[in-house]
């Protein structure tokens, strides 16, 4: 990757991988309501991919399912795929693991953040 291309790629990657500062989750029997950044997702819990707006505002196929105490979300769009895993702990904290895959990236990007409830 050239020096010029690397700088542009780094800037775009930084813009698209901003850590989630705050989120809200509400689980109903067949549906999950999830707010990430300023984006709202109302997704079925059966893992079906449904059309939605991604975090960048573009159309994606979004799916969600729960296994145990972990909520899994997949956002698949033309620029790549983003995975979120929300692991809910007994003390009320949440661990969020994110992975981003794209043919535009030389390798996968992943990070893990820890959250605690606000009073």
Q: pLDDT digit string (tens) for 54-108?
A: 777 789 999 999 999 999 999 999 888 999 999 999 988 999 999 989 887 788 8
Q: What is the CATH number of the domain that holds 48?
A: 2.40.128.20
**What does the longest C-alpha to C-alpha distance in the chain come to?**
51
> What pLDDT is stored for residue 86 in this prediction?
92
Average pLDDT over residues 15-33: 76
> What pLDDT is stored for residue 6 in this prediction?
62
Q: Total structural domains in the chain?
A: 1
Averaged pLDDT of the chain: 83
Torsion over CA: 85, 86, 88, 94 (sign): positive
38 pLDDT band, cuts 50/70/90, is: confident
Bridge partners, residue 72, by sequence: 65, 85
Our measurement of the distance from residue 47's CA atom to the centroid of its chain's CA atoms, rounded to an integer in Å, reads 15
Predicted TM-score (pTM) of this structure:
0.77
Residue 101: domain span: 3-115
Strands in 28-68 per DSSP E: 31-36, 39-44, 50-53, 59-67
CB 67 within 8 A of CB 78: no
């Amino acid at each position: 990757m050239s020096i010029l291309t690397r700088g542009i790629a780094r800037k775009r990657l930084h813009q698209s991988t901003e850590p989630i500062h705050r989120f809200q989750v509400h689980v109903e029997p067949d549906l999950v309501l999830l707010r990430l950044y300023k984006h709202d997702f109302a997704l079925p819990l059966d893992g079906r991919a449904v059309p939605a707006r991604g975090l960048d505002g573009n159309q994606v196929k979004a799916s969600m399912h729960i296994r145990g105490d972990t909520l899994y979300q997949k956002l698949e769009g033309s620029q790549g795929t983003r995975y979120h895993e929300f692991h809910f702990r007994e003390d009320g904290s949440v661990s969020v693991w994110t992975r981003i895959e794209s043919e535009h990236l030389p390798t996968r990007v992943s990070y893990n953040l820890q959250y605690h409830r606000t009073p």
